[in-house]
């Protein structure tokens, strides 16, 4: 249905100039988008650990996600080293090392904003590389996959900002940032729903309409002016959006293989 992009993994093994379009067992775009989502999840679990919400589970999830990112980045780094034309310059590894160091330490509210900025930088660079790979390979399926992934990342960022406000008296400007991300989420969601079926299949759009409904509920809940924060409920509502988007991503993932 969609044009598959050139296999970077095969190219790395055979030749730096290889250009035969084949199916990739481990798609670099898929790996990078998953790294993006894992890094944001690490930040969210860091906050939950700081809040004391299911601390053992949060601590275990942080460790598991760190291990997963280490593995995925190591694989991607090998591709970059053998094919420097793929990515001219990347700060992914230094940024990741900084995130890993902070996330591995006992959570402190005073360090949360710095970790948030590091994660945001890391995600921006991951997505920038993803879109660079799209431009080089002209893959519509990959573009749809990345945009859906970006939507999931935005939903996780909204949840993280809500949890951050619940953690301490100072929110590092998270209220304005939350509204900015919510606005971007709504815009990106509308754009996906408006795309032609050749790019975003109707099956995916049906799922996205459910995402839209869940997003409206989460937004109303998060905008409450009562001054009371319910972190556990916020996570539940955020996870509903996440589960729908993961279903859509699973549908599009089949086009990347």
> Considering just the CA atoms, what is the radius of gyration of the chain in Å?
19
Structure letter (DSSP) for residue 227: S
Residue 81 included in any domain: yes
| Full-model pTM | 0.80
Number of domains in the chain: 1
Whose CA is closest to 218, among 196, 247, 186? 186
CB atoms within 10 A of CB 180: 13
pLDDT in tens, 125-170: 988 888 877 765 556 667 788 889 999 999 999 989 888 888 876 5
Q: Determine the structural domain holding residue 241 and report its residue range.
A: 8-253
**pLDDT tens sequence across 85-116:** 666 557 788 999 999 999 999 999 989 999 99
Reduced to 3 states (helix: H, G, I; strand: E, B; else coil), residue 226 is: coil
Q: Measure Cα distances from 183 to 135, 216, 254 in Å.
A: 26, 11, 30
Q: How far apart are CA 47 and CA 165, in angstroms?
A: 10
Q: How far apart are CA 122 and CA 32, in angstroms?
A: 11
The overall average pLDDT reported for the chain is 80
Nearby residues of 49 by Cβ (< 8 Å), 6 or more positions away: 55, 58, 59, 62, 107
Q: Is residue 116 part of a domain?
A: yes
Q: How far apart are CA 188 and CA 209, in angstroms?
A: 13
pLDDT band at 238 (very low <50, low <70, confident <90, very high): confident
Q: Which letter, b or e, does each residue of 29-50 get, where b requires 16 or more Cβ atoms within 10 Å of its Cβ? A: bbbbbbbbbbbbbbbbbbbbbb
pLDDT at position 225 over 80: no
User: Looking at the domain assignment, is residue 2 inside a domain?
Assistant: no
Judge whether 1 lies within some domain.
no
pLDDT at 13: 25
**pLDDT band at 173, cuts 50/70/90?**
low
Please choose, from the candidates 44, 171, 162, the residue with its C-alpha nearest in 3D space to the C-alpha of residue 107: 44
Output the pLDDT for position 207: 95
Please answer whether residues 147 and 177 qualify as being in contact, where contact means their C-beta atoms are separated by less than 8 angstroms: no
Q: How far is CA 242 from CA 8, 135, 154, 205, 249, in A?
A: 29, 27, 10, 15, 10
Tokens 């004391």 sit on residue: 52
Model confidence over 31-84: pLDDT tens digits?
888 999 999 999 999 999 999 988 999 999 999 999 999 999 988 877 777 766
User: In this structure, is residue 146 part of a structural domain?
Assistant: yes
């Amino acid at each position: 249905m969609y044009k598959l992009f050139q296999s970077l993994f095969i190219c790395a093994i055979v030749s730096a100039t290889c250009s035969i379009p084949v199916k990739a067992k481990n798609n670099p775009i898929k790996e990078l988008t998953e790294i993006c989502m894992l890094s944001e999840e690490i930040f969210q679990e860091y906050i939950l650990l700081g809040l004391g919400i299911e601390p053992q589970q949060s601590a275990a999830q942080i460790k598991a996600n760190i291990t997963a990112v280490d593995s995925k980045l190591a694989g991607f780094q090998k591709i970059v080293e053998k094919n420097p034309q793929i990515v001219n310059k990347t700060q992914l590894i230094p940024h990741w090392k900084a995130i890993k160091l902070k996330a591995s330490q006992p959570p402190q509210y005073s360090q949360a904003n710095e970790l948030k900025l590091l994660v945001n930088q890391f995600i921006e660079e991951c997505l920038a590389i993803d879109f660079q790979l799209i431009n080089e390979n002209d893959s519509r399926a990959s573009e749809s996959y990345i945009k859906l992934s970006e939507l999931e990342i935005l939903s996780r960022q909204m949840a993280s900002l809500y949890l951050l406000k619940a953690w301490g008296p100072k929110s590092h400007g998270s209220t304005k940032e939350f509204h900015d991300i919510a606005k971007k989420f709504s815009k990106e969601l509308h754009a996906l729903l408006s795309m032609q079926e050749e790019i975003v299949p109707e099956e995916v759009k049906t799922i996205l309409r459910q995402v839209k409904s869940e997003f409206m509920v989460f937004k109303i809940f998060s905008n409450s002016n009562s001054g009371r924060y319910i972190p556990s409920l916020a996570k539940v509502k955020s996870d509903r959006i996440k589960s729908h988007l993961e279903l859509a991503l699973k549908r599009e993932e089949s086009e990347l293989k």
